Amino acid sequence: MKKLFVTAAVAATLFSATAAQAADYVIDTKGAHAFVNFKIKHLGYSWLHGRFNTFDGEFSYDAKNPNASTIMVNIDTKSIDSNHAERDKHLRGGDFLNVDKFPKASFKSTSIKFDDDGDEADVTGEFTLHGVTKTITFEIDKIGEGKDPWGGYRVGFEGETSLKLADYGIDYNLGPASTHVDIGLYIEGVRK
């Protein structure tokens, strides 16, 4: 089941004994409890893994109306990190992300539909990468929620999707096994 990066960061649930309330969350990048990862096949023989080190975002969730939830994530494409400096320089250049021209990638939801249990949702929204915006839909899973030791309230989600690079104007030939990149978003939100 394909799930997305850029939005596993969605949704949160706040329950009280008498009534549910709407809640807004900020993605916990300060505490490094959120990740935007990627992987792509290398020549069809192995996986190349990496991440984006700098991103931010927020989401909201209304327990009375969970399908009114929203999520927004911004990614600094210059922060790509594949654990190899020369490769990262190439990935930042014109053959791939062209970060001087397109320094940001982003996702903004347009609809979220939760299942009856509230543990999974289909998230649809506008994803922009390399100057191209496309509507994508992906599934997310809720990991958990509750109070933290510092008096706050947190909720976590994960999701992942596969993107065809050519759909976003990235047409560098990496071979037939490397036309798609899998993006994963693993987020923990802190209630505002």
Share of the chain above pLDDT 70, in %: 88
> Rounded to whole angstroms, how far apart are CA atoms 76 and 66?
29
Taking residues 58-76, report their average pLDDT. Answer: 87
At position 188, the amino acid (one-letter code) is: E
Q: How confident is the model at residue 10 (pLDDT cuts 50, 70, 90)?
A: very low
Q: How confident is the model at residue 13 (pLDDT cuts 50, 70, 90)?
A: very low
pTM equals 0.85
| Under 8 Å between Cβ of 175 and 43 | yes
